Amino acid sequence: MASSKESVPGGSKAPGEPVSSLAAAGANTTGSAAPADPATVVPEPGGHEPVPSAEAPLSRGGLHLVVALVGVAAALLALQGISSYAALIAPLFFAINMVIIVHPLHAWLVRSYGWPRWAAASVSLVTVLVALFSFFYSIGWAIFALIRELPSYSTQFEVMWGGLLNWLGEFGVTTEGIAVNLQDNVGNIVSFSTDWLVGVASNISGIAAMIAIIVTVLFFLTLDSMTVTRRMRVIIRQKPATARALLNFTAGVRRYWVVTTVFGLIVAFMDLGYLIILGVPLAGVWAVLAFVSNYIPNVGFIIGLVPPALMATLDGGWMDALLVVVGFSVINVVMQSFIQPKFTGDAIGVTPTVSFVSVLLWAAVLGPLGALLALPATLFVKALLIDPNPQARFVNALIAATPEDGLPSQQANEARAAQGRLARWISGTRRKTAVEDSQELSADGVPADTLPPQDGEPAIPGDHGAGESGGGHRGSNGESG
């Protein structure tokens, strides 16, 4: 018996029903017609009406806002936790920096002279301890020399204080008023002085404890440094992007400390000679202060400038103080703005704004030692959270000294290669051959050709690595290992 419905494209035709209506209703099943109006959605077979998808950019924006707020809250909690254990974390991180600085000496003794690893590690440890002893001894000598010399300038200080009172008197501020205020607040002044002395005594004991922690941690880190190359090779195979970030961090920290130390010594000796020519007392003390404050970005120059300017005022008057300010400013600007970039480029690796904020942040979190560790701590956070994550790597364009760090592309590599050629031309070194480049070891003794390219970067010649997809290791033939 013949069926009472005729087959038509997109459905069945009942007797007397126009074919065009059914064809129009099933036009969307072929995928060739435009989608139906969301306000008039055709019911799906089975009687279930589809729910229109909510294309709401506000929802995604709200989600991003929630994620950002949660991230900020987590960061604040982490900083608060770090601040609670700053007495332990700051010396530990400082010791890690020292081991990173001296590790090339360890690798050089093992690779070039065949020394046993324990002997090379021992030499590295002794080198670090001698450097630390010299650093803290120079600071202690400067402090005690200042304490011994200052009482002899009490007469000059009284004369300067009298001149200050006379200058204030021109504005209606009388000596009697100042004396009354001092008498009314003498209890507060004595209490403040007592608290300050107690604080100084506690800081001395705290410094001794900090040095003890640093020396102890250095001993154990030196033992661990004997196997750091093997550990890095394991990380390279399992997490190549993380390994690359850690190697970049160690290279950046080492470059920062070495460059800052070398040019800090140069600036300190130039300041010493200039102060001797001017006849400013305690020239050696101010040279030590200039060297130590050189490790504090941005504000370190002011810290090293104010005390010698005040001493010049006490000894020779305002003109000598002005000469000190002008001379220190010229030496600092010439060295850091013209000479240092020609030899080392940007040794910090971040923008001036980021370096200044880093000093404020880490000094508040880690205390006085945090001001010295501000930039290494910032580079460490960057290596953990930004560099291994392709989605967050764009942040480098905002905080890095070279915006190309946020663009892992062929153009960025060409820009870096051009900078390398310029640096070699300035230093007069010859260009490395392709064989030397492929055999070159990284700063931590890991062959450079074992590092995989980042996302979007061309493969390194002789590259044996690849991306982190699935955590597997990709060989040079492109197959997963």
Q: Mind giving me the DSSP string for 331-361?
A: HHHHIIIIIHHHHH--SS-B-HHHHHHHHHH
Determine the 3-state secondary structure of 10 from DSSP: coil
Highest mean pLDDT, choosing among 76-85, 179-188, 190-199, 403-412:
76-85
Q: Which residue has the tokens 């690359």?
A: 244
299, 359 contact by CB (below 8 A): yes
DSSP character for 49? P
Q: Mind giving me the DSSP string for 247-267?
A: HHHHHHHHHHHHHHHHHHHHH
Q: Which residue has the tokens 């890991």?
A: 446
When pLDDT is averaged across residues 409-417 and rounded to a whole number, the result is 58
State residue 20's pLDDT score. 44
Q: Per the structure block, which two tokens stand in for 365?
A: 């979190």
Distance from C-alpha of 230 to C-alpha of 208, rounded to nearest angstrom? 35
Cα–Cα distances (Å) from 160 to 37, 98, 213, 317, in that order, read 87, 44, 44, 9
Closest CA to 374 of 432, 293, 464: 293
Determine the 3-state secondary structure of 67 from DSSP: helix
Q: Considering the entire predicted model, what is its pTM?
A: 0.67
State residue 1's pLDDT score. 45
State residue 76's pLDDT score. 92
Predicted confidence band of residue 96 (pLDDT cuts 50, 70, 90): very high
The residues with which 7 forms a beta bridge, in sequence order, are 12
- Residue 18: pLDDT over 60: no
Cα–Cα distances (Å) from 88 to 47, 93, 223, 265, 462, in that order, read 67, 9, 20, 29, 43
State residue 159's pLDDT score. 77
When pLDDT is averaged across residues 75-102 and rounded to a whole number, the result is 93
- Residue 373: pLDDT over 70: yes
Predicted confidence band of residue 30 (pLDDT cuts 50, 70, 90): very low
State residue 25's pLDDT score. 45
Average confidence score pLDDT of the chain: 74
Distance from C-alpha of 357 to C-alpha of 141, rounded to nearest angstrom? 31
State residue 405's pLDDT score. 60
With 0-12 / 13-18 / 19 or more C-beta atoms within 10 angstroms meaning exposed / middle / buried, residue 382 is buried
With 0-12 / 13-18 / 19 or more C-beta atoms within 10 angstroms meaning exposed / middle / buried, residue 376 is buried
Distance from C-alpha of 42 to C-alpha of 45, rounded to nearest angstrom? 9
State residue 191's pLDDT score. 61
State residue 102's pLDDT score. 93
When pLDDT is averaged across residues 235-246 and rounded to a whole number, the result is 90
pLDDT (tens digit per residue) in 54-67:
444 556 767 778 87
State residue 387's pLDDT score. 84
